[in-house]
Structures are given as structure tokens and as C-alpha cells.
Structure 1
Amino acid sequence: MRIALIDDDRAQIEALSRLVLAEVSNSGYPASKIEAFDSGEAFLAKWQPGAYDIMILDIFMDGLSGVDVARKIREADDTVRLVFCTTSNEFASESYEVNAQYYLHKPVTQEGIAAMFRRLNLDVLEKMKIVTLPDGHPILIFNILFTDYYNHVVTLYVKGEEPYRIRMSQAELEALLLPYGYFFSPVKGIIINFHEVVKMTEEDFILSSGNVIHITRRKYKEAKDAYTRFRFDKMRREVET
């Protein structure tokens, strides 16, 4: 999960980062990468459509306001979750215009961050997330069963689709998938989606597709711990919702 924080108050950025990371850690959400920007201009200079899952924008900033930035975002990205952070509801009508999903009121609290995550419905977001491969091919990441790397070519096995092959390194693929938290590499050259695991034995992961993926002895404990943590976090979120 990739989160952008846009605020010209450095103390506010640092506080938001701490609170967001604490909520992610305590509530079992996918691992998050947080990037901070001290102005709307600095953010837009780097931003590309699809680069973030959540954006938290201060409304009152020098230069471009949070609403100005949100309008630019919505010209090219209609799926990112937009959150305004402010001391006032003055711009409520503008938030509807850009389809903002939540208002965070300053001073921001842990309870406020928790409420924000519940409202954003991240499980739905997770299932809708599309990533773009280096060759420009879009793929629904949640539907990936597993990937296989051989001789500089990655094969992605996706539910309901023919296998997709692309020339790229395993390191590039791991950088793309592993940050989402529910992907894991139990053996060199293979990445699996924990959502598709129906059983774990002492030697293998068995997937919903019937594929059996071996777990190396060296990685067995790490695999067991990661899969146990994934299942616990998933059950906890289901109970809470």
C-alpha cells in the first residue's frame, strides 16, 4: 500500500507518518510505503497516475491548496483514495467535487486515523488494484496466483487469464509485488499469493488452482511465520468489519 502525505507543516507530516504506520502495524493492513511532500507543487512534479493508493492532503497550503492538487489528480486518476486534512469544513463542497473519501480533522489522533482506514474500505481497494508491468501491460494484482522466473523471463499466472510472460528480472518483480504483504517467495524464482493458498504442508503450499509450490527447507520457518501472520491479520479484519 502506497501512501502520499502532502502538507507544508513538517511537524504535521511527521505526526501523520507515525500515526499511519502505527495503525498499519496494529491492524494488519498491507505493508505501507509512505512518501511525504512539503507542497502541492513538489508532489505534482513527481506524481504519476496510479502511483499511490491513498493521498492525504492538507487543504490550506502556500501555493497550490489541497483542493487544487486534488483536482489535478482527478483529471487522470479516479481510483486513488483522497483524504483531506484540515481544521475546517469550509471546503466540504469541493471535496464532493473531487470525490474525496474522508476528512481528517486536526489535531489528528490515532482514533481519527483508525476511522479513516475503516471508511476507506481497504479490502475493496486491495482487490481493485491494478499494477503496470515494465512493458506497459496492466494486471489486476489480487488475481495473481503465482509467478515463475526462468532465463530472464517472468511468467505470471493469473486467475481466468492465459499466463503472461515478460522479460524482466526477479528482483524487479519482487520490488513490485512483495511490498503488498500478501506475496511471498518460498523458493528462488517463485512468488505466491497467500490469498490463493488453500493448504500449507511441511514441504509445499497448495494453491486454489491445484498448483503445488515447494518450500525450501531454509525458508520454511519464515514461510510458516509469514503465512500464519497473514491468516491472523485477515481473520481479524473480517471480524472487525
Structure 2
Amino acid sequence: MSVPIRIALCEDTEEDAERLLRCIDESGFSAECRHFSSCEALAAEFVPGQYDLIFLDIYVDGIQQGVDVATQIRDVDAMVTLVFTTYSTEHALESYRLKAIAYLEKPVRPEDVKEILEYVEAKRKNAPSVRLLIEGKRRKIPLESILYFEQREHVVFVNTLSGVLRTSQSVSLRDIEPLLPDSFYRSHQSYIANLRYVKELDQDLRIFRMQNGDVVYIRRPSISQATKIYESWLFAAARGEES
């Protein structure tokens, strides 16, 4: 059984929301949909990694709110697929800036929605991952879902957007580190952080504060290196060159 595509849609009219939901239902893809009638409601409940796809109405209650909430979402979640829906095409440049994959004019067409779902499903299947033994079963864990790794004695805990996974094999961070791209940084003998999900670096406390509030420690001798690597990654991310 395929894992449902997790979708949020922000539409302020029932007619537009129902049409979009109908297009999703008729696409043939398994999906879990959540409808928000306001941008404030979506922004208040949004958690990075919560959705695979978000449909955003650019104008909600006659105000250009979709772009604002998309900016907030993109600040904390670089991976979620964004799609704008609108009766106007005047904000097409904003969709490019926010790395939205599509700009759908209303009324949305079933074939366009299906094409977007095909893209998201292919993206999920091809997402880079790491395979680890979790609770006795070999599991494929998408890298974009991992906040950080933590080693306690001979056990590695994988802290993901949806919870903590405990490895059930004799594995160390030394074994895992070579399997990871440059967006992961070994900051401490017991931690590897995913720089995508670092909220801030506190040099005084020598920690990465993650977007979920957790803390990842940095070795005292490595604070200068950690600062340089994190800043370099931020610049690369701003240019769209992050790995």
C-alpha cells in the first residue's frame, strides 16, 4: 500500500476548496488532505515536514496573504512543494522566488492537479535516504525528514520530523557520517545535525538550536569551524545551491 501524499490547501471559499479536493480525489493518487480557510490558521499550525504539498490561494479575504505565509513556510521548510492558486497572474515572479513549482489559474483543471501530484510522488520516491535497522527491520529514512542523529553509548537515535527512531544494530555515527550529504554536519562526538533544520547557532552556549526546539551540542574546539560551515551553508541555500 502506498503512503498517502500529505496535502494542505488554503482556500477561503468552499467552492474553490471543493473543486480542488475533487480534482485530487479523481487523480487516482492516495492523499490525506487538510483544508484551511485562512492563512493565519495554516501558519499557526504549520510544522516543518508535516506536508508533502501545499496549495495556497494568493488572495485570501481579498488580501495578498498567500505570498506572506508562503514566505514564512519557506523560511522553515525548504523541501515542501508549494503551488499557488489564483484568478490573477500578476504575482508569478513571487512564485519563482519562493520556489513554487506551479501557478494555477482558477478554476483549477484536473489535468494540472494530477500533473502536480505525479511530480510530488516522483519526488518522494527519488528522495535521498539512508537505510538503517530500526526495531529489527531495515528502514529507508528520507534524509529530508531527519533533524539530527544522536549517539548514546552504542545506540544511535534518529530524530526525525515525525518522531525519534532507535537503531537496533551496533552502529555508530562514524558509520553513518560517510552516508550523508554536506547538509549534515558532525558537530560533536555524539551529534550530527541537519543544517536545513538549524534555527540558530549560539556561539556562547556552543549549540545548534533546532527548529523543533531541541539542542545539538558543538565541541568547544569546533565552534569556529561550525560557524564557518553553517554560514557557508546558509549562503549556498540562499543561492539555491545547498546539497
- Name the TM-score, length of structure 1 as normaliser: 0.52
Q: Contact (CA 8 Å) 1:16, 1:108: kept in 2 or not?
A: yes
Rounded Cα–Cα distance in structure 2 between residues aligned with 1:159 and 1:61: 39
Q: Contact (CA 8 Å) 2:52, 2:120: kept in 1 or not?
A: no
- 1:55-70 equivalence runs, <5 A: 55-62=54-61, 65-70=65-70
Structure 2 unaligned blocks of 5 or more: 142-153, 164-243
1:165 deviates by: 7.6
Rounded Cα–Cα distance in structure 2 between residues aligned with 1:19 and 1:144: 37
Q: 1:90 to 1:159 in 2, by over 3 A?
A: closer
- 1:102-181 equivalence runs, <5 A: 102-118=102-118, 120-128=119-127, 140=129, 143=131, 154-158=135-139
For residue 7 of structure 1, what is the amino acid of its counterpart? E
Structure with greater strand percent: 2
Rounded Cα–Cα distance in structure 1 between residues aligned with 2:31 and 2:46: 17
Within the candidate set 8, 11, 20, 2:12 is matched to 8
Runs of 4+ in 1 over 4 A off after TM superposition: 142-145, 162-166
Corresponding residue for residue 198 of structure 2: none
Q: Contact (CA 8 Å) 1:155, 1:163: kept in 2 or not?
A: no
SS at structure 1 position matched to 2:107: coil
- 1:58-103, Cα deviation, whole Å (9 max, x unpaired): 0011356111110000101011000000111110111111100011
Q: 1:102 to 1:158 in 2, by over 3 A?
A: same
For residue 60 of structure 2, what is the amino acid of its counterpart? M
For residue 8 of structure 1, what is the amino acid of its counterpart? D
1:19 maps to 2:19:
no
Rounded Cα–Cα distance in structure 2 between residues aligned with 1:56 and 1:121: 12
Structure 1 unaligned blocks of 5 or more: 130-139, 148-153, 167-171, 174-241
SS at structure 2 position matched to 1:44: helix
1:51 deviates by: 0.3
Q: 1:93 to 1:127 in 2, by over 3 A?
A: same
Corresponding residue for residue 73 of structure 1: 73
For residue 34 of structure 1, what is the amino acid of its counterpart? C
Provide the aligned C-alpha RMSD in A. Answer: 3.1
Q: Contact (CA 8 Å) 2:59, 2:86: kept in 1 or not?
A: yes
For residue 21 of structure 2, what is the amino acid of its counterpart? S
Q: 1:102 to 1:36 in 2, by over 3 A?
A: same
Rounded Cα–Cα distance in structure 2 between residues aligned with 1:159 and 1:109: 34
Corresponding residue for residue 101 of structure 1: 101
1:42 maps to 2:41:
yes
SS at structure 2 position matched to 1:52: coil
Q: 1:159 to 1:32 in 2, by over 3 A?
A: closer
SS at structure 1 position matched to 2:69: helix
- 1:132-169, Cα deviation, whole Å (9 max, x unpaired): xxxxxxxx4x8578x6xxxxxx3342369x99789xxx
Q: Contact (CA 8 Å) 1:39, 1:64: kept in 2 or not?
A: no
Deviates further, 49-58 or 62-71: 62-71
Rounded Cα–Cα distance in structure 1 between residues aligned with 2:123 and 2:7: 16
Which protein, 1 or 2, shows the higher relative CO under an 8 Å CA cutoff with sep ≥ 6? 1
Identity of aligned residues (%): 34
